[in-house]
Amino acid sequence: MSTDSTLSVRTFIEQNSAGFVEDLKDWLRIPSVSGDPDRAGDVRASAEWLAAKLRATGFPTVEIWETASGAGLPTVFAEWPSGDPDAPTVAVYGHHDVQPATPLELWETAPFEPTVRDGKLFARGASDDKGQLFFHVLGVRAHLAATGRTAPAVNLKLIVEGEEESGSPNFAPLLRDHAERLACDVVVVSDTGMWDRDTPSTVTGMRGLIAAQIDARGPSGDVHSGSFGGAIPNPITELVRLLAGLHDENRHVTLPGFYDGIVELTERERQLFAKLPFDEAAWLRTAKSPAAIGEAGFSTLERIWARPTAEINGIWGGHTGHGSKTIVPSEAHAKLSFRLVAGQDPAQVRKGLEAWLAERMPEWIEYELSFEGEGVRPCLTPLDHPALQSITRALGRAFADDPDGERREILYTREGGSGPEADLQDVLAAPVVFLGVSLPEDGWHAPNERVDVANLLKGAEAAAYLWEDLAGNK
C-alpha cells in the first residue's frame, strides 16, 4: 500500500462497516430466485439495484446485459479503467441470483428480511453470493481512500450473473458474445469459502462434470417371470452387471482413457492438503456415511478435490410399488455422473463412455445413451502462479493481527463441485483465482443461510490489498 496513504484500509472499512451492512440488507430483501419463473421480475430488480450501487460507487461504465436468446435473466457488467497504461486487467465474477428459500417453516427468521444475530447476517443470499460479491464494493472504496487514487490500480471489471443458481444455461454464450469487452489478465471469483474461521484459505481449482443416462430395453413389454424368466434377457440384471464393472477392485474407473492426461497431484500439494485440520470422523457425520472409501492410494480430501470420479446417481426399472409383481421388465434406466479434474475433457470422457458401453453391453439388449449438455470443464491454477500468490498475500495481510506486520499463513483447498469457472477460464483465456471468505457452517442453499459479518469485512480488506498487489505483480 502506498506510503502516502491518508487513511488505512482497515480503518476505512471499520468506519464504513455499518453502512455496508445496511446496503447489503437492502439488496438481500430482493428475492432474486432465478429458478422460479414468478421471480423473474425480482431478479431484474436485483440487477438494477446492483447497477445503481456500482454507479454511485464510481464505476463509470455500468450496464445490464441480456442473454443472447433474450429468454434468460440479466447479468450486470461494470468497468473502471485504471488510467495507468501498464495496469493489468482484472475481472471479478459473482452472481446476484439466489436459491429458493423453501422449506420456509425451517427458517428462524424470514429469509428475505435480513437479520443480524451474534455477528452473523441471516438471509437467503447472505453468503451465496450477494454478500461475497458486495464486499468488493467496500473493498474498492477502501483501496481508493487508502491510496489517494481516483481510480483503481488495476483495470477493474465486474461480471455478475443472474442465472448461476439455475445452472448458468446462458452464461457461456454471453461470455463469447462479450469476450472482447471482458478481456482480462486474471479472473477473481468470490463464490467460494475458506476452510474454517481459524484457517483462512483459498481455492485453487474446481472439478468439471459430465452427466449421462442409459436407457436399456430387453423384451418389448413386461412379461410373466414364471413363463419366461431365466430364458430371456432381463435388462435390469444386465444393466446392474454392467455398472458393477464401472470400477475395478481398487475403485479405479474402467472407462478407456479415463485417466489419460490428468494433472497429477504434486508432493507439495499433498503436503499442503495434509496440513489442513481435517477431522474425518466429523466429515463422515456430515456425509451421513459409516465409512470413507474410494480410489486406492489417496486420502479423503485428495479423492474429493483432485481425483476424477464416476457415480451411479440413480437406477430404476420394473415394478417398484407395493407387493410383488413377478415380471421380467422390458426396460431399465440409470443416471451417471463423472467429476473431472484438470487435464480431462468432457468430450473425451463422453467418447470413453460410449466405447465402454458398446464393448460391454450384451448384443441382445438395445440401449440409448444420452448426455445433459456438453459438460463442464475443470479448472486449476498452479500454486506458483503470480495471480494466486497475490491472492495469498492479500488474504494473509487481511487476516493478520497487524496488516503491516507478519502475514497470516494461507492454506490451499480445492472445490469438489463444479461451476461456471471453467467457462470463464476457457472463453476469456485467463487464469481463475478465488477470493472467498464464507465458512462451512454458513448454510448455502439451506434454511437459515448466514454469513459472518467480520469475515465479510476481511474479504473487503483483502480485495482492497489485492488490486495494488496485482498492479505491482506483472
Give domain status of residue 70, yes or no: yes
165 shares its domain with 16: yes
Instruction: For residue 226, tell me if it sits in a domain.
Output: yes
Residue 100: give its domain's CATH number: 3.40.630.10
- The answer to whether 210 and 350 are in contact (CB under 8 A) is yes
Domain boundary among 351, 371, 391: 371
Verify that 316 and 385 share a domain, yes or no: no
Q: Are residues 234 and 339 in the same domain?
A: yes
For the segment 84-113, the average pLDDT, to the nearest whole number, is 97
Rounded to whole angstroms, how far apart are CA atoms 152 and 148? Answer: 10
Confidence check: pLDDT of 68 > 80: no
Other beta carbons within 10 angstroms of residue 440's beta carbon come to 12
Cβ proximity of 462 and 400 under 8 Å: no
Q: Which residues, at least 6 apart from 296, have a Cβ–Cβ distance to it below 8 Å?
A: 250, 251, 252
Residue 352 lies in a domain: yes
For residue 135, pLDDT over 50 is answered with yes
- Of the candidate ranges 21-30, 69-78, 250-259, the one whose mean pLDDT is the lowest: 69-78
Let me know if residue 302 belongs to a domain: no
Residues 231 and 85 in one domain: no
Other Cβ atoms within 10 Å of 364 Cβ, number: 10
- Do residue 101 and residue 158 come from a single domain? yes
Judgement on whether residues 127 and 239 belong to the same structural domain of the protein: no
Cell of residue 208, nine digits:
468439471
Q: Please determine, for residue 405, whether its predicted confidence score (pLDDT) is greater than 50.
A: yes
Total tally of structural domains belonging to the chain: 2
Burial label, 4 (beta-carbon count in 10 A; 0-12, 13-18, 19+): exposed
| Structural domain containing residue 25 | 9-206+379-471
pLDDT at position 152 is 98
Query: Do 88 and 176 fall within a single domain?
Result: yes
**H-state helical runs in 276-344:** 280-287, 300-306
Please tell me the predicted confidence (pLDDT) of residue 422. 86
Which of 330, 353, 371 represents a domain boundary (last residue)?
Answer: 371
Quote the mean pLDDT of the chain: 95
Judge whether 218 and 314 are in contact, CB under 8 Å: no
Three-class DSSP category at 415: strand
Residue 418 lies in a domain: yes
Same domain, 435 and 333: no
- Whether 28 is covered by a domain: the verdict is yes
Rounded mean pLDDT of 355-382?
A: 95
**2 falls in which pLDDT band (50, 70, 90)?**
very low
Q: Give me the pLDDT at residue 4, please.
A: 37
Q: 64 lies in a domain?
A: yes
What the block records as the C-alpha cell of 275 is 496440513
Q: Does 201 share its domain with 231? A: no
Same domain, residue pair 172 and 93 = yes
Residue 319 maps to which CATH number? 3.30.70.360
Residues 192 and 317 in one domain: no
pLDDT of residue 337: 97
> Is 138 inside any structural domain?
yes
Lowest mean pLDDT among 61-70, 181-190, 234-243, 363-372: 61-70
Residues of the chain with pLDDT > 90: what percent?
A: 93
Residue 258 vs residues 175, 255, 416: alpha-carbon distances, Å: 29, 5, 18
* Residue 297 pLDDT exceeds 90: yes
Average pLDDT for residues 28-32, to the nearest whole number?
A: 98
Among 371, 397, 424, the domain boundary falls at 371
Q: What is the pLDDT of residue 3?
A: 38
What was the pLDDT predicted at 69?
74
pTM equals 0.90
pLDDT band at 6 (very low <50, low <70, confident <90, very high): low
DSSP codes joined into one string, 409-455? P-EEEEESS--THHHHHHHHT--EEE---B-GGG-TTSTT-EEEHHH
Q: Based on the domain organization, do 254 and 389 belong to the same domain? A: no
Q: What angle do CA 343, 346, 352 make, to 5 degrees?
A: 95
pLDDT band of residue 474 (cuts 50, 70, 90) is low
